[in-house]
Amino acid sequence: MLINKNSKTLIWDNIPEWAIYSLEYGIEEDLFLTDEDKKLITKFIGENFPNGYAMSVDWESYKEFDRFPAFGKPCKTYTVRFCNL
């Protein structure tokens, strides 16, 4: 994968656990998302990574119950590093 010289790494410490699979593989691959969840993920990607991204999850860094996730209702969240493409 080529990464643009001007790419930036952005770190979120509040990405919902339920959204990680879809962020990695695409919402089409997750058969258990509600329409509302799909909209939230699509909006998050569109606002932050319109040209694509690469991501890595820090599985050791999580909050069991985060009242303020990046999107959606309170839930378990993880720290995720995103690199703009």
Residue 47's pLDDT is what?
Answer: 95
State the residue range of the domain holding 17: 9-84
Residue 8's pLDDT is what?
Answer: 87
In a domain, 79, yes or no: yes
In a domain, 72, yes or no: yes
Residue 62: φ, ψ to 5°: -145, 165
In a domain, 39, yes or no: yes
In a domain, 4, yes or no: no
In a domain, 22, yes or no: yes
Query: What would the mean pLDDT of 51-70 be, rounded to a whole number?
Result: 97
The answer, yes or no, to whether residue 1 has pLDDT greater than 50, is no
Q: In what order do the strands lie in the sheet with 53-66?
A: 9-16, 75-84, 53-66
In the chain, what percentage of residues exceed pLDDT 90? Answer: 86
Q: Give the length of the chain.
A: 85
User: What are the CA-CA distances from residue 29 to residues 7, 23, 32 (Å)?
Assistant: 27, 10, 9
How far, in Å, CA of 3 to CA of 39, rounded? 27
Domain count along the chain: 1
In a domain, 2, yes or no: no
**Cβ atoms of 23 and 45 closer than 8 Å:** yes
Q: How high is the mean pLDDT of the chain?
A: 93
